[in-house]
């Protein structure tokens, strides 16, 4: 197996594991084009499904502070949408609360406003 084939197989496996995505015959995953914005939604969903809400939120804000683009803003809103769909008991079991969801959404707005301010 040559190096190029090894990378292709690694990309297929990574996409399957991280993004829950099966490769289609015409689809090739290019490792050089994968960014945190590509991987982050899958990682956040995985952490949420495992009840690791705080770990997911910390990762989200780490990435959001490095990249406060509209795409990251959308990822953040999707993340909090997932949390809002959890029952109070599920949130408690994950050491999280509805108040923390509201605080997180407020903090995201502040990050986006800082980005807009820097752009002007």
Domains of the chain, by residue range, sit at 1-34, 36-119
The whole-number pLDDT of residue 46 equals 95
The whole-number pLDDT of residue 20 equals 59
pLDDT digits (tens, 9 = 90+) for 52-79: 999 999 999 999 888 888 899 999 999 9
The whole-number pLDDT of residue 45 equals 95
pLDDT digits (tens, 9 = 90+) for 34-54: 666 788 999 999 999 999 999
Dihedrals phi, psi of 95, to nearest 5 degrees: 55, 50
Averaged over 102-113, what is the pLDDT? 90
CB burial string 37-70: b at 16+ within 10 A, e below: eeebbbbbbebbeebbbeebbebbeebbeeebee
The model's pTM is 0.69
At how many degrees (to 10) do helices 53-66 and 36-49 cross? 170
- The DSSP element (H or E) to which 46 belongs, if any, is helix 36-49
Query: If DSSP codes are grouped into helix, strand and coil, which group holds residue 102?
Result: helix
């Amino acid at each position: 197996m040559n190096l190029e084939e090894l990378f292709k197989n690694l990309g297929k496996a990574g996409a399957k594991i991280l993004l829950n995505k099966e490769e289609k015959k015409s689809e090739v995953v290019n490792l050089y084009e994968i960014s945190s914005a590509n991987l982050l939604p899958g990682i956040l969903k995985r952490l949420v499904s495992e009840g690791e809400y705080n770990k997911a939120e910390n990762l989200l804000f780490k990435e959001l502070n490095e990249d406060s683009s509209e795409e990251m803003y959308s990822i953040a809103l999707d993340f909090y949408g997932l949390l809002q769909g959890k029952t109070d008991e599920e949130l408690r079991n994950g050491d999280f609360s509805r108040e923390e969801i509201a605080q997180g959404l407020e903090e995201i707005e502040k990050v986006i406003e800082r980005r807009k301010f820097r752009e002007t």
